[in-house]
Amino acid sequence: MTSVLDLAPVIPVVVIDDAADAVPLARALVAGGLPAIEVTLRTPAALDAIRAIADEVPDAVVGAGTVITPGGAATAAAAGARFLVSPGWTDPLLDAMRSSGVPFLPGVSTASEVVALLEREVTEMKFFPAEAAGGTAYLTSLSGPLPQARFCPTGGVSLASAPSYLALPNVGCVGGTWMLPPSALAAHDWTRVESLAREAAALRA
């Protein structure tokens, strides 16, 4: 697979409470030009949602987010996740994500964490929580001494701030939720989700 960071300018970060919503939601995001979809492991429906998207939306590249345990990494991959994302990392978690056989983005928020991952030959990471951890200014500071590290900033990123992140040489894509407004999800307004996804996908230009 092409690097997760290069699939689209934005990875939607999705919290699914009802697995029945997974397929129509994923189809709307894919139709809007956002094929990489991070389903967070925050709800009981998450694994069923990942399975459903993997089985029924072939153009989607579904991943699992909020992976915080070694067991969670293995379970998510077994459910069909094609990439894994964690908010932070430990050695056991990193080993489990590596053993899963799918790409992974371990979370970092400090230079020391980045260096530690580079020592382990990991060059693609999630920068989290992006806005709270220093935003574009911090990532710009990292690009000089650590140019081999590439990031997906997530956490507080919006439609307005995303272009500033995407303009950085060490940012491949951003993660966000703005194309998934609660009102649209509650109303099952997949047309609106598709429209917002298309707007986000156009940020690459």
The residues assigned a catalytic role are 38, 126
Q: Which amino acid, residue 51?
A: R
Distance CA 100, CA 107 (A): 17
Of the candidates 75, 114, 80, the residue with the CA atom closest to the CA atom of residue 96: 75
DSSP state of 86: -
DSSP SS3 for 150: strand
Number of Cβ within a 10 Å radius of residue 122: 19
Using alpha carbons, select from 190, 140, 162 the residue that is nearest to residue 11: 162
Tokens of 42: 């925050």
**HSE on the CB side for 146, CA within 13 Å?**
25
Specify the residue for token string 């917002």. Answer: 196
